[in-house]
Structure 1
């Protein structure tokens, strides 16, 4: 799931569903999302307000969370945020000793900038560092790149690494880095197959 807002769109909403038999309580916050040195960085922001900030989703029920932009200034470049929902204890239940695992949900939110027809422009770099492959994706474009279903293949199509489902995002004008265990040496030219923003791509990365 992700949320895309048009340049002048002031608000949107997402529907949360609870398929379970007990209520779910949660705290809802929005963070500005950046990437520094190949890693995600989240910072509290007031650019987008989430309402309600505390939710109660009934059993087999739904809860609408609205996202409202505080300012509607047209930014020159796409802006990125994360809607974070942290599960919290039922306020009517007494606290008990012990470890209680709570879920965290993180939803990407993108606000389009002024650039007409924004698109990612990607450069793929691969290096071997000890017992790991390090993949660096440089995005010099004006739109995020969502990467999923990635396969790292040797020249004989032997799999070197594989990620089912979502790998992550390279934000506009940013770079993202991922690491994979290097279980075997590569033979021949290395290639990458992946889904980028829903489209199949086959890439020959630069090997550093």
Structure 2
């Protein structure tokens, strides 16, 4: 069971697509798994679908719906939980919250059926800066279905939810780069009141070297927060002020100059 004030590691917070795990991997939450014959791929075993992929709430529209669907051949139990999503000191965490609730938190889906889970803003106090949450939708295991010669596959959907403020400053990212443990470190500090979604991020160093942080989604820099990422490969050069950062955001392409990490 989840412990009070439990903080979830960043690797449970970031993914946008459904996550799958082998059962023997430790999870900070109660286990949530689908049982599949050995050799069956995770994508084939995943019978739980959830939509939409992103939710925005407003002060005058404080509720939303998550649609969950069972595409498999057997009933499944589903747990839906809401966590506050924060970024501090360059790292992400999820923390238990009473500000936003999912109802019902537990349900059983028959094969081929769709069910609506309602998200409701409990704390209606006005906000001056966008607030971030994550809705975790997990398929719970059915021990009665586990058979000899099977493996357990964990399926989780992690849906970002943003509570918008009425009047906000747009996202404004200040960049910094440096090195740590043989890797290039990229820091994004968002001084605005809205998040920014970053993908296709690359760094052109002052000496002309280009370093890619991947062609897909890198992550978010939440409102008023600082986030850090490590380059995917080893980095043996020098990094500091004067680098140019290029990225694609949810509001278009951006470029910026980076300071050196302190």
CA deviation profile, 1:40-95 (whole Å, cap 9, x unmatched): 12111121111221234444443322101113221222211111112211375357
Q: Do 1:160 and 1:186's aligned partners in 2 also have CA atoms closer than 8 Å? A: no
Give the corresponding residue for 1:109: 161
Deviation of residue 15 (structure 1)?
2.1
For structure 1, the residue ranges without an aligned partner over 5 or more in a row are none
Task: Measure the CA separation in 2 of the matches of 1:58 and 1:202.
Answer: 49
Report the secondary structure of 1:110's partner residue: strand
Alignment TM-score, normalising by the size of structure 2: 0.69
1:49-88 → structure 2 map (5 Å cutoff): 49-88=101-140
How many pairs were matched up? 207
Relative to structure 1, is the Cα distance of residues 77 and 130 closer, same or farther in structure 2, using a 3 angstrom cutoff?
A: same
Give the corresponding residue for 1:36: 88
Q: Do 2:68 and 2:114's aligned partners in 1 also have CA atoms closer than 8 Å? A: yes
Q: Do 1:86 and 1:104's aligned partners in 2 also have CA atoms closer than 8 Å? A: yes
Q: Do 2:98 and 2:123's aligned partners in 1 also have CA atoms closer than 8 Å? A: no
Q: Do 1:8 and 1:72's aligned partners in 2 also have CA atoms closer than 8 Å? A: no
Deviation of residue 138 (structure 1)?
0.7
Q: Do 1:9 and 1:72's aligned partners in 2 also have CA atoms closer than 8 Å? A: no
For structure 2, the residue ranges without an aligned partner over 5 or more in a row are 1-52
Task: Measure the CA separation in 2 of the matches of 1:97 and 1:138.
Answer: 49
- Aligned match for 2:182, one of 91, 112, 131: 131
- Aligned match for 1:197, one of 244, 250, 256: 250
CA deviation profile, 1:86-131 (whole Å, cap 9, x unmatched): 22113753577975231222111111124x2441121011112231
